[in-house]
A and B are shown apart, each in its own frame.
Chain A
Amino acid sequence: MKLQRKNRLRALSLGAIAVSGALALTACGSDDTSANGGSSSGPTAKAGSIKCDDAKGQLLANGSSAQANAIQAWVKAYTAECKDVQINYKPEGSGAGVTAFTQGQVAFAGSDSALKPEEVTASKKVCSGGQGIDLPMVGGPIAVGYNVPGVDNLVLDAKTLAQIFDGKISTWDDAAIAKLNPKAKLPKTKIQAFHRSDESGTTDNFTKYLKAASPADWKYSGGKAWQAKGGQSAQGSSGLAQQVKQTAGAISYFELSYAKDGIKTVDLDTGASAPVKATVENATKAISEAKTVGTGKDLALELNYATKADGAYPITLVTYEIVCDKGNKADTFKATKSFLTYIASQDGQDSLAALGYAPIPAEINAKVRETVASLS
C-alpha cells in the first residue's frame, strides 16, 4: 500500500517535471525577434556593399534594445559575407551598453541617447589618445497608439498629448480633443493613459518631445524613468501595445513596429498644413531637420521637436553606435570598422524600412560614412 503510493508519487513528480520542463523550454524559446515579426523575413544584403577587409574575430557589443532588431538583421547579412567575424550584440539597454563601453568590455555600444560629458571623460581611459563618439545609425518613429471604439482617425497635438499623459484631460469627449477632431464621434469613456513601468529610451524621447513642443503643459525634467503622477503602466513596448489592444479608452506610446494587429495610431497636428501620420518616411523627414550638436567627430543630433514642416513626424528616436574616434582596440578594430561601414552604407540603411525603422537622412548619413572611414 505504502510502496504503491510512493510509486505513484514518483510518477506524479516525473509527470510534473516533464510538463514544467516543457513549459520552461517554450518560455525560453521566445525572444525579441518575435515581437517584431519583420526580421525573420529580413533583407538579404547585396554582396557588393560588404567589404570584409580581412576582418576576423569576435565582436562584442551591448546596448539599446530599441535597435536590437536592426542590428540583428545587419549582423545576419554581414556575417553571411564575412564568415570569419562573429558579432554578438546584447540588447541590455542603453545604460548597460555605455557602461560596458567605458569599461572596455565591448567593441562598440548602442545607445538611444548621446554620451553625456562625464561618459565622454570616462571613455578616454578606454580609447588611447581618443574619446568615445556617437554615430547616428537608426531612427524610428514613436507611435501614439489608442483604442477608442468608434474612432478611426484621431488627431492630437503636443498640448493635448501632454495634458492627457499628465491626467489633466480625463475623458475622450473633452473639449480640447473635440476641437481637434470635429468630425469624430468621441465617446464619454475615461482616458486610460499607459506609460512604461521600466526605464526606457522610448520614454526619454517621448517626454523630450512633450517638453520641447509644449513646455507649459509638461513640467517634468524628463529622463528614462516616467515622472508624471497617475496613469497606468506596463512593462516593455510589447506590454504597452498589449494594454492598448485589450483596454477600451487606452492610449500609449511605443515604437512603430509594435503598432500592429489593429492598433490605430494618432496623427499629430504639428502646425503643418495637414496632420502628420506616424510613418517611417515622415520620421526620416523630421530627422533631416535635426542639428548636429556633437563637436569634432561626434555626430550627436538634436531633433527639432517643434518642427512645422509638412510631413515631418517629430516624435522620433535616433539611436547611436558609440565607438572610439581614435584608439579602438587593435584586435577588433578591422571588424568594427568594416561592420560600421556596411551599416552606414546605402544597402545597410535601405534595409531598415522593412523592419519599421527610419533610415538616417542622406546628409547626416554622408557625415557618418566620412567619420567611419576616418576611424583608427
Chain B
Amino acid sequence: MDISTKTTAPPAPADPPTLQKRAARGATRPGDRIFLGLSRGSGILLLVIMAAIAAFLTYRASLVLSKNDGNFLTTFEWNANATPPVFGIAVLAFGTIVSSVIAMAIAVPIAVGIALFITHYAPKKIGGVIAYVVDLLAAVPSIVYGLWGALFLVPHLTGFYSWLNDYFGWTGILEWQGGAPRTLLAVGILLAIMILPIITNVSREVFRQAPLMHQEAALALGATRWEVIRMSVIPFGRSGVISASMLGLGRALGETMAVATVLSPSFEINASLLDPGGGTFAQNIAAKFSEATEQGRDALIASGLVLFIITLVVNGAARAIIARRKEYSGANA
C-alpha cells in the first residue's frame, strides 16, 4: 500500500471507501483495531445510555401527561396524586433557572479569581494549600451543604437581606417583606459555594497551560503581570473557563438535597428574589417522590424529562459558544 499503487490503479468500485480510509489511517495492526473497537464501543454505549434515559423518561411521562387536568407548562400547582391530577412545571423551571443563574453569577468570577491567584500570583506553597481546600469543597456531600445552609447560612442572612432591601428594595426584585430568608437567593448563594471547586479546578488547569512563550513575549514588551493575564492567559483560557462553568451549571441545575433543605418551596413565582417560595425540579422530585402514587411518580418523571431537556439545551449552547472561540483552544496554541 504505497502511493504508487494508489495513483496508477484507481480502487475497484467494489472496494468500500471506509476500508480505504482505515488503511490510510493505518489501523491495520491488531492492537489498533482492538483499540478502535473499544473506543467506538464506548462511544456507542454512551449514546445508548442517553437514548435509554430519554426513552424511559418520555414513555413514563407520556402515561400521565394526557390525564393532566392543568397545563403542563403553565399551571402553578403540583397535585399529581389527585384524580384528575393537576400539575405544571412553570414554577420549577423558573426556580431552577433563576437559582442556577444566581449561582453562576456569584461563582464564576470568584472561581476565575481563585484560579488566577493560584496559578499566577500566589507563592507555590500557599497556592497549593488554597487549591487543596477548594478541592475539598467538592468532596463535601450535598446534604452537609444543606444542613450548613439551613442551620447556619440562612439564619445569618437576615442582616444581608435587610441591607439589600434598604439600598436595592426599589428595584422590586430585591424587596424584602421580612420572611425567613429561605429563598431562591439563599439557594443561589449555597449553590455558588457548591459549584466553586469544579469551576476553579478546571480553570486552574487551563490557566496553567497558557503558553509560556506568549507570557514571556508580553513581559518582554514591558507588560505588567495583570496585562500578561489579560492579553495572553485569559484569552487562551476562555473556552476552558466556559466549559468549566457549564460543568458547574450542570451541578447547580441538578442539585437536590441542599436545595430541599434550604428553600421554602411553594408553587408560586414572586417578583422578589428575597421572598420565600418557588422550587426547583430536583428539589420537587425529592420532596414529592416518597408519598407519590404511581401516577404521581409519572408526573415527577415528566418534570425530570424537562430538566433533562434543559440540560441538553444548556450543554448544546455551551458547545456552540466554545466552537465559536475555537481559535483560542489549546490545540491551536
Cβ-defined contact, B264 with A232, below 8 A:
yes
For residue B327, CB closer than 8 A to chain A, the reply is no
Cβ-defined contact, A225 with B81, below 8 A:
yes
Assuming the contacts A16-B136, A198-B288, asked whether A190 and B178 have C-beta atoms less than 8 A apart, the reply is yes
Closest-by-CB residue of B relative to A24 is: B141
For residue B276, CB closer than 8 A to chain A, the reply is yes
Closest-by-CB residue of A relative to B132 is: A12
Among A19, A96, A197, A250, point to the contact of B180 (Cβ < 8 A).
A250
Cβ-defined contact, B264 with A19, below 8 A:
no
Question: Within 8 Å CB of B155, what residues of A?
Answer: 246
Which of A67-75, A87-95, A264-272 forms contacts with chain B?
A: A87-95
Question: Within 8 Å CB of A8, what residues of B?
Answer: 128
Cβ-defined contact, A190 with B177, below 8 A:
yes
Cβ-defined contact, B266 with A233, below 8 A:
yes
For residue B260, CB closer than 8 A to chain A, the reply is yes
A54 to B223, CA, bound (A): 89
Among B135, B261, B264, B292, point to the contact of A199 (Cβ < 8 A).
B292
For residue A328, CB closer than 8 A to chain B, the reply is no
Interface residues of A in 295-330 (CB under 8 A from B): none
Among B82, B135, B276, B291, point to the contact of A16 (Cβ < 8 A).
B135
Among A16, A95, A223, A250, point to the contact of B292 (Cβ < 8 A).
A95
**Number of chain A residues close to chain B: CB under 8 A:** 41
Q: Shortest CB–CB separation between residue A128 and chain B, in angstroms?
A: 24
A232 to B138, CA, bound (A): 30
Cβ-defined contact, A192 with B291, below 8 A:
no
Cβ-defined contact, B290 with A198, below 8 A:
yes
Q: Shortest CB–CB separation between residue B282 and chain A, in angstroms?
A: 13
Mark each residue of chain A from 1 to 38: 1 if its CB lies under 8 Å from any CB of chain B, else 0. 00000001000110111011001100100000000000
A198 to B291, CA, bound (A): 8
Assuming the contacts A95-B292, A235-B260, asked whether A27 and B182 have C-beta atoms less than 8 A apart, the reply is no
Interface residues of A in 200-236 (CB under 8 A from B): 200, 223-225, 227, 229-235
Cβ-defined contact, B140 with A197, below 8 A:
no
Cβ-defined contact, A197 with B287, below 8 A:
yes
For residue B294, CB closer than 8 A to chain A, the reply is yes
Cβ-defined contact, A235 with B287, below 8 A:
yes
A192 to B266, CA, bound (A): 14
Cβ-defined contact, A224 with B81, below 8 A:
yes
For residue B62, CB closer than 8 A to chain A, the reply is no
Assuming the contacts A16-B136, A27-B141, asked whether A199 and B265 have C-beta atoms less than 8 A apart, the reply is no
Cβ-defined contact, B179 with A190, below 8 A:
yes
A interface with B by C-beta (< 8 Å): 8, 12-13, 15-17, 19-20, 23-24, 27, 92-96, 99, 190, 192, 194, 197-200, 223-225, 227, 229-235, 239, 242-243, 246-247, 250
A1 to B212, CA, bound (A): 17
Closest-by-CB residue of B relative to A19 is: B139
Question: Within 8 Å CB of B128, what residues of A?
Answer: 8
A17 to B138, CA, bound (A): 10
Question: Within 8 Å CB of A15, what residues of B?
Answer: 136
Closest-by-CB residue of B relative to A227 is: B79
Cβ-defined contact, A93 with B287, below 8 A:
no
Closest-by-CB residue of A relative to B79 is: A225
Among B82, B150, B268, point to the contact of A242 (Cβ < 8 A).
B150
Tally of A-B Cβ pairs under 8 angstroms: 96
Question: Within 8 Å CB of A239, what residues of B?
Answer: 150, 261
Among B138, B177, B178, B290, point to the contact of A93 (Cβ < 8 A).
B290
Question: Within 8 Å CB of B136, what residues of A?
Answer: 15-16, 19
Assuming the contacts A19-B136, A27-B141, A235-B261, asked whether A199 and B180 have C-beta atoms less than 8 A apart, the reply is no
What are 30 A-B residue pairs whose CB atoms fall within 8 Å in the complex? A12-B132, A13-B135, A16-B136, A16-B139, A19-B139, A20-B139, A23-B144, A27-B141, A95-B292, A96-B290, A192-B179, A197-B260, A197-B265, A198-B287, A198-B288, A199-B81, A224-B81, A224-B291, A225-B82, A227-B79, A230-B266, A232-B182, A232-B266, A232-B276, A235-B260, A235-B261, A242-B150, A242-B151, A247-B180, A250-B180
Interface residues of B in 268-290 (CB under 8 A from A): 268, 276-277, 287-288, 290
Interface centre among B144, B261, B290 (most CB of A within 10 A): B290
Task: Beyond A16-B135, A24-B141, A194-B264, list 19 extra A-B contacts (CB 8 Å).
Answer: A17-B139, A19-B139, A20-B139, A27-B143, A95-B293, A99-B294, A192-B180, A197-B264, A198-B287, A198-B291, A199-B291, A199-B292, A225-B82, A227-B79, A229-B266, A232-B182, A232-B276, A233-B265, A234-B182
Closest-by-CB residue of A relative to B267 is: A229
A143 to B79, CA, bound (A): 26
Question: Within 8 Å CB of A229, what residues of B?
Answer: 266, 268
Cβ-defined contact, B144 with A27, below 8 A:
yes
For residue B78, CB closer than 8 A to chain A, the reply is yes
Question: Within 8 Å CB of A232, what residues of B?
Answer: 179-180, 182, 264, 266, 276-277
Q: Shortest CB–CB separation between residue A299 and chain B, in angstroms?
A: 24
Q: Shortest CB–CB separation between residue B104 and chain A, in angstroms?
A: 24
Question: Can you list the 6 inter-chain pairs with the closest CB atoms, starting with the nearest?
Answer: A20-B139, A199-B291, A232-B264, A16-B139, A93-B291, A198-B287
Among B79, B276, B291, point to the contact of A96 (Cβ < 8 A).
B291
Interface centre among A8, A12, A235, A247 (most CB of B within 10 A): A235
A19 to B138, CA, bound (A): 11
Question: Within 8 Å CB of B292, what residues of A?
Answer: 95, 199
A246 to B149, CA, bound (A): 13
Question: Within 8 Å CB of B294, what residues of A?
Answer: 99
Q: Shortest CB–CB separation between residue B153 and chain A, in angstroms?
A: 12
Closest-by-CB residue of A relative to B76 is: A229
Cβ-defined contact, A23 with B141, below 8 A:
yes
Interface residues of B in 103-150 (CB under 8 A from A): 128, 132, 135-136, 138-141, 143-144, 150
Q: Shortest CB–CB separation between residue B87 and chain A, in angstroms?
A: 10
Closest-by-CB residue of B relative to A197 is: B265
Mark each residue of chain B from 209 to 243: 1 if its CB lies under 8 Å from any CB of chain A, else 0. 00000000000000000000000000000000000
Question: Within 8 Å CB of B151, what residues of A?
Answer: 242, 246
A234 to B178, CA, bound (A): 17
A15 to B82, CA, bound (A): 49
Question: Within 8 Å CB of B79, what residues of A?
Answer: 223, 225, 227
